[in-house]
Amino acid sequence: MVVPGQDNQPSTSNNDRFLVLKLSEDDPLFQKKIKLLRDKGFGQADLVRFDDTLVPDSVNANLDALLQRARIIHLNETELYFGVGVMNMNLEEEVYSPRNELEALNFILSRLDRCREKSVEENVSLKAVRDAIITRIYSFGDTYKMETNIIKDTCDSEKHLMEWAETHGLKSKLNIAYIEGAGRGVLAAEDLEVGDIALEIPISVIISEDLVYKSDMIPVLEKIEGISAETMLLLWSMRERHNVDSKYKIYFDTLPEQFNTGLSFGLDAMVALDETLALDEIFQAKEHLRSEYDELFPALFDKFPDLFSRELYTWEQYLWACELFYSNSMKIMFPDGKLKTCLIPVAGFLNHSVCPHILHYGKVDTVTNTLKFPLSRPCSRGEQCYLSYGNLPSSHLLTFYGFLPQEMNPFDIIPLDIEAAPECTSEEGHLDSTTHMVRGTWLSTNQGIFNYGLPSPLLEHLRHVGKPDLQTMTLFQENLENEIKVLDELRVIFENMMDKLGDSEMDDWNNIKWDVQLAVRYKDLQRNIVSSILTACHSGRKMVERELEKCLDEDKLG
């Protein structure tokens, strides 16, 4: 039973259980989310009641209602902007993104478990809904199962690291292996279920700023004006990496000599990225790092030659350390309440997926003093277990991690330089400050007239420029003519973008360096996105023209 619009959790009897999924007022997207909830007939904190008489058929209906709400509560800005889409061709259900879907399902699961824990007796309906959620998580994950080609098992250095971590208390249900196209990765050593802890890492093996504060470098580092804890840890790691007596030597020994991220791209790859977002991102990042390096060196060589030797702190070594931290560090909340950037042995072997197994891992458990990596979806024995590095576009993954995901990435967006017109106001009367963007139209479910697979906020914005009072989404002549103008305007923007990107050219793929290959693949992805928008404008215009013809014919007939 769904009861909209009630905030207070009512008292529960032994036979009745209530579940409230509440949208927090502190949510920075509260206004947009509450509007979306209301548009769907929900309230801020609807209440779903489970009683023992719940018939099996209503289990799915109850779950659907909960899921619709949970999805909205967990939307991020990009997902809200684009609305529902198809993230997987095998999936009939419309979802916002794999991340959002898993987040929503796990959110309901955790609330249900809390409810069940409080119950004196087992409530059969709660149990039935829980089973239904687990089934959905299973089938959702199944549509994202990816081929993992294992090249070889672990080498000595990784084996030593596991053994060393185990002596410090590491608990792992994962095996390390070399994976085609991804370096090392981790495979489930046994069938893992939702909620199972795949890895449990004691803080004693985690590399964080705490080590710098205990080191001989701190008196000097603390004197550097404005230096961040991250930079201190980076400088400490650059020296520690070469320290044969380091407690973390076994960890440093597992790191590659070279990180193949966008920050190491050569000239040919940069040329191949011409006119792409990634080129700007790489340029800006490298410029920023170079200026940081120049602020520190040679000043530190001259003032503290004993701590900062010229051989260990070259620009190349600094860039290597930056790539290490960009591609391997994690932000972790410590028991002292501080969020710290850390290098985490063993967990650093987890690769990224758009539909990860592990979503939540950022907080040290204060009871066990360990960092736990629980599963948000099951992982079968031998399957690669993935983490989420965040909701990142491919330009970011290319620049800071040096790979492009195999799956469709819902966060692969092209931002548009379209200013909100002064007359564009939200329902609350505020100036609309949305950043407009597009992504591949293959991700959209709505390809029909007035949608065309394009994002509604962008279309609505363009429709109202100069025509704030126009009744949009109608088959009236004035509106249809405006619709053609909007599609033509978009076509011009994207034709220009496509001209700048140029044609795809790659003759001998096998003889091409890793960085140029990545750059070419990235640029092809950009072309595909732009091409899908141009197709949408073209087919959309045809749809509108047909409606306009009908409209004019009707007018002629009077």
Ligand X SMILES: C[S@@+](CC[C@H](N)C(=O)[O-])C[C@H]1O[C@@H](n2cnc3c(N)ncnc32)[C@H](O)[C@@H]1O
Distance of closest approach, residue 431 Cβ to ligand X, in angstroms: 39
Distance of closest approach, residue 259 Cβ to ligand X, in angstroms: 7
Q: What angle do CA 150, 153, 158 make, to 5 degrees?
A: 125
Can residue 457 be called a binding residue for ligand X (CB under 6 A)? no
**Of residues 136 and 184, the one with the C-beta less far from ligand X:** 184
Within 81-140, which residues bind ligand X (CB under 6 A)? none
The footprint of ligand X on this chain (CB under 6 A) covers a number of residues equal to 17
For residue 368, which amino acid is it?
T
d(CA 237, CA 207) in angstroms, rounded, equals: 9
Selected binder of ligand X within 308, 401, 452, 494 (CB under 6 A): 401
**Of residues 128 and 355, the one with the C-beta less far from ligand X:** 355
Q: Phi and psi dihedrals of 187, rounded to 5? A: -115, 145
Q: Phi and psi dihedrals of 165, rounded to 5? A: -65, -40
- The DSSP string of 129-166 is HHHHHHHHHHHHHHTT-----EEEE--HHHHHHHHHHH
Window contacting ligand X (CB under 6 A); options: 175-183, 307-315, 415-423, 536-544: 175-183
Listed residue (59, 374, 350) closest to 194, CA to CA: 374
Distance of closest approach, residue 161 Cβ to ligand X, in angstroms: 11
**Of residues 108 and 354, the one with the C-beta less far from ligand X:** 354
CA 62 to chain centre: 28
Window contacting ligand X (CB under 6 A); options: 70-78, 181-189, 305-313, 360-368: 181-189
**Of residues 181 and 305, the one with the C-beta less far from ligand X:** 181
**Of residues 181 and 415, the one with the C-beta less far from ligand X:** 181
**Of residues 256 and 305, the one with the C-beta less far from ligand X:** 256
Selected binder of ligand X within 85, 405, 455, 540 (CB under 6 A): 405
Distance of closest approach, residue 351 Cβ to ligand X, in angstroms: 3
Selected binder of ligand X within 184, 340, 357, 436 (CB under 6 A): 184
Distance of closest approach, residue 146 Cβ to ligand X, in angstroms: 9
d(CA 129, CA 513) in angstroms, rounded, equals: 52
> Reduced to 3 states, what is the DSSP secondary structure of residue 19?
strand
Q: Helix 229-240 and helix 277-296: axis angle, to 10°? A: 80
Selected binder of ligand X within 5, 10, 28, 181 (CB under 6 A): 181
- Residue 332 and residue 342 in contact, taking contact as beta carbons nearer than 8 Å: yes
Per-residue binder mask for ligand X (CB under 6 A), 320-359, x = binder: -------xx-------------------xxxxxx------
Distance of closest approach, residue 31 Cβ to ligand X, in angstroms: 35
Within 21-80, which residues bind ligand X (CB under 6 A)? none
Distance of closest approach, residue 524 Cβ to ligand X, in angstroms: 17
For residue 481, which amino acid is it?
E
d(CA 31, CA 37) in angstroms, rounded, equals: 10
Window contacting ligand X (CB under 6 A); options: 134-142, 204-212, 402-410, 536-544: 402-410
SS (H, E, C) 242-263: CCCCCCCHHHHHCCCCCCCCHH
What token pair was written down for 277? 């977002």
d(CA 295, CA 276) in angstroms, rounded, equals: 29
Residues in CB range of 339: below 8 A, 6 or more apart: 331, 332, 333
Distance of closest approach, residue 344 Cβ to ligand X, in angstroms: 9
Selected binder of ligand X within 85, 378, 393, 402 (CB under 6 A): 402
Selected binder of ligand X within 83, 169, 183, 382 (CB under 6 A): 183
Count the alpha carbons within 13 Å of 472 in the hemisphere toward its beta carbon: 20
Window contacting ligand X (CB under 6 A); options: 213-221, 310-318, 398-406, 548-556: 398-406
d(CA 463, CA 450) in angstroms, rounded, equals: 10
**Of residues 185 and 393, the one with the C-beta less far from ligand X:** 185
What token pair was written down for 525? 């992805």
Listed residue (369, 314, 329) closest to 230, CA to CA: 329
Using Cβ positions, the residue closest to ligand X within the complex turns out to be: 183
**Of residues 136 and 241, the one with the C-beta less far from ligand X:** 241
**Of residues 173 and 184, the one with the C-beta less far from ligand X:** 184
Q: Which chain residues interact with ligand X by CB under 6 A?
A: 181-185, 327-328, 348-353, 401-403, 405
